[in-house]
Amino acid sequence: MRIDIITVLPELLESPLSHSIIKRAKDKGLAEINFVNLRDFTTDKRRTVDDYQYGGDAGMVMMIEPVDKAISYLKSQRDYDEIIYTSPDGERFNQKIANELSLKGNIIILCGHYKGIDHRIREHLITREISIGDYVLTGGELAAAVITDSVVRLLPGAMSDNESALSDSFQDGLLAPPIYTRPADYKGWKVPEILLSGNDAAIDKWQFEQSLERTKLLRPELL
């Protein structure tokens, strides 16, 4: 899978996408993550990507021309399955969308900045708009990093068996059960007896019941 992220701040994306499972997925050739600097598609000396809003309201707007040029350039190199714009008014990101995106071949993520982007970009160039939650970030980079991280870790081979996504919260529509490691007794705070029993069937049953219980308690709307 290839993800091209169009941004004015590639530095913001480098560290979050250079470690752990994501680094491994890139090293194994499962995912190619490429940063495209929007300023490389400007024509003026100051490499301007924003301008004043029509209508007189406060706040700068990302201009259509550099974005169109960046997307056209990428599209001239290969086909894309999805061109995503990260925005607080997009559809709310969740594990289902992460699963869906992990099945795509090539995607572009456009990171918004300033007050937002010229609406014609959304009308004519973007295929999907995604929000990572009902709050406003300074720019779309952190949202793009969240989306990319959650998608790339799902690629077959990205995780080892014991990191498997199958036991993640939300993967089966439930929150994950509680987990523990040694010591079995810390200051009298004990690991549930069942997990030490060696009885796999009983452990599976307990974990499922715990998942159900936690989901009912913390996120009943998921059920």
Q: Please report, as ranges, the residues that interact with ligand ADE according to CB under 6 A.
A: 86-88, 112, 131-133, 135-137, 140, 143
Cβ atoms 156, 29 nearer than 8 A: no
Q: Is 34 helix (H, G, I), strand (E, B) or coil?
A: strand
Question: In the bound complex, what is the minimum distance in angstroms from residue 88's beta carbon to ligand ADE?
Answer: 4
Q: Among residues 107 and 174, whose Cβ is nearest to ligand ADE?
A: 107
A 10 A CB-CB count for 61 gives 21
Burial class (CB in 10 A: 0-12, 13-18, 19+), 84: buried
Question: In the bound complex, what is the minimum distance in angstroms from residue 109's beta carbon to ligand ADE?
Answer: 10
Q: Among residues 13 and 132, whose Cβ is nearest to ligand ADE?
A: 132
Q: Among residues 109 and 158, whose Cβ is nearest to ligand ADE?
A: 109
| Nearest position to ligand ADE, beta carbon | 143
Question: In the bound complex, what is the minimum distance in angstroms from residue 70's beta carbon to ligand ADE?
Answer: 18
Cβ atoms 191, 185 nearer than 8 A: yes
Instruction: From 27, 32, 60, 52, select the one nearest 139 (Cα to Cα).
Output: 60
Question: In the bound complex, what is the minimum distance in angstroms from residue 217's beta carbon to ligand ADE?
Answer: 26
Parallel, antiparallel or unpaired: strands 189-190 and 116-117: unpaired
The set of residues, in sequence order, having a beta carbon less than 8 Å from that of 48 and lying 6+ positions away, is 42, 63
Return the half-sphere exposure (C-beta side, CA atoms, 13 A cut-off) of residue 180.
15
Question: In the bound complex, what is the minimum distance in angstroms from residue 124's beta carbon to ligand ADE?
Answer: 20
Question: In the bound complex, what is the minimum distance in angstroms from residue 47's beta carbon to ligand ADE?
Answer: 22
Instruction: From 145, 211, 158, select the one nearest 3 (Cα to Cα).
Output: 145
Q: Among residues 117 and 158, whose Cβ is nearest to ligand ADE?
A: 117
Q: Among residues 16 and 88, whose Cβ is nearest to ligand ADE?
A: 88
Q: How wide is the angle at C-alpha 8 spanned by C-alphas 146 and 64, nearest 5°?
A: 105
Q: Among residues 84 and 158, whose Cβ is nearest to ligand ADE?
A: 84
For residues 222 and 39, what is the distance between their CA atoms, to the nearest angstrom?
A: 42
